[in-house]
Amino acid sequence: MTARPGTRGPRLRPGDAVGVVAPCSPVAGELLDAGLDVLRGWGLEVVEGEHLRGHHPRLPYLAGTDADRAADLQRAWLDPRTAAVFCARGGDGAHRVLDHLDFAELRRAPAKTLVGFSDVTALHEAFAVELGAATLHAPVLALESFTEDTRATEHLHTTLFEPERATVLTAPGGEAAETLVPGTARGVTMGGNLSVLNDSLAAPHSRPSARGGLLLLEDVNEDVSRIDRMLTQLLRSGWLEGVAGVLLGSWQGCTPDAATVRTLMLERLAPLGVPVVGEFGFGHRPAQITVPLGAPATVDADARTLTLDRPALGPPVTRHRP
């Protein structure tokens, strides 16, 4: 199975409705409210999931039971009013909701866009495999950075409302990505959080390999030895066979230091013989850029750019208003 372009959701317009759900960890109410205010400031109508502000009765790292979190996501995706579904935060628990989703029913819904990153990687992968959906690796709402980091929200806004202006992606303004392995390659963007991808190997709703993919990888608060084990597992399992190129995001809080992580990436990834770009600006970091997933694109490691074949989102549509 080679990575294939996903079906795009519509670009947003003021007045559109969007769903907001918490499929992973609980959200802080004040941060969530601030993030929702940003969406409303964009002219969007917010449809909150029933359990958006919930907590699991016994497991404090989950925003409600698996069934409740899955039900919110399912309803938001099937809601004929909504043009996109935003995840309030990542954290933990996305893998646990997958077996509670009715993918046959989800396939009947018109195309729309899932927005999020970190643990949401599990949902990005499942929606790509089961629904053929293109999604957005992008900031989540209930983090301080969503309201305080205008560079991140401005880039997300551009991608959502004027995607034709965000077809050539580079590291955030004033920063420089790094060419680790030179060259150019075409493929389809995929991936996200390294540990979540590694945990998905051989599980339902996951890809057999990254063949044909321009693979995004990032993580947070991991020791380099654990990053090594995860990369080695992806290599030894054959999952990286046929990957077209690799884009590396942030490794915030990873120990002992960025130089050691860089050395590891070169040692593990350079033998693949494909272009590799480091510090590309997505992931757990300030001013993270939004990167479409399921997008046919070209990576130029020498120029340190990712050029999309098409805008991330398709033409706007008129949604049903009951």
State the catalytic residues.
118, 218, 284
Burial class of residue 35 (count of CB atoms within 10 Å of its CB; 0-12, 13-18, 19+): buried
Q: Which helix (H) or strand (E) holds 197?
A: helix 194-199
Is 85 within 8 Å of 112 (Cβ atoms)? yes
Residues in the chain: 322
| 261 CB-near residues (< 8 Å, 6+ apart) | 224, 227, 251, 254
Task: Write b or e for each residue in 51-89: b if 16 or more Cβ atoms lie within 10 A of its Cβ, otherwise e.
Answer: bbbbbbeeeeebbbbbebbbbbbbbbbbbeebbbbbbbb
Angle between helix axes 258-269 and 224-236 (nearest 10 degrees) is: 10
CA separation for the pair 203, 205 (Å, rounded): 6
Other beta carbons within 10 Å of 19: 26
Helix ranges, 22-120 (H): 29-41, 66-78, 94-97, 103-106
Q: Which helix (H) or strand (E) holds 190?
A: strand 184-193
Cα separations in angstroms, 164 against 11, 60, 125: 10, 41, 24
Among 312, 1, 269, smallest CA distance to 137 is for 312
CA separation for the pair 170, 283 (Å, rounded): 14
CA separation for the pair 77, 270 (Å, rounded): 39
